Amino acid sequence: MSTLISNPFTALPGFDCYGCGPGNDLGFRMQFHVDGDAVVSTIDDPGMSRVGFPGLLHGGFASLLMDEIMIWAVLGLCQRMTMTATLEVKY
């Protein structure tokens, strides 16, 4: 049984995160759950507007998802807020 991680940012004025903002109609609107010792999430079909090469998610969006997942894993498992200082991606 998984437990939803409450998004602590939704009450902040102007909060419109592309990854996890529930009110961002263009974003992924991701929700995260703690399931045992793991943090899990699902995303809907990213759609044709987010492809880089036909049938493949654009690398920038893939990086965004990876960044979002790492932050929420720390929040869900350690109950600590963190931010990415550096992210290097090699494709």
Model confidence pLDDT, tens digit, residues 55-66: 899 999 999 999
Percent of the chain, pLDDT > 90? 85
Confirm if 29 and 65 have CB atoms less than 8 A apart.
no
pLDDT at 91: 86
pLDDT at 1: 83
From the list 45, 47, 39, the residue with the least C-alpha distance to 68 is: 39
Residue 52 Cα distances to 32, 42, 47, 55, 64, angstroms: 26, 21, 11, 8, 14
Cα–Cα distance for residue pair 19/22, rounded to 1 Å: 9
pLDDT in tens, 39-54: 999 888 888 889 988 8
pLDDT at 46: 82
pTM of the model: 0.86
Confirm if 18 and 26 have CB atoms less than 8 A apart.
yes
Confirm if 64 and 18 have CB atoms less than 8 A apart.
yes
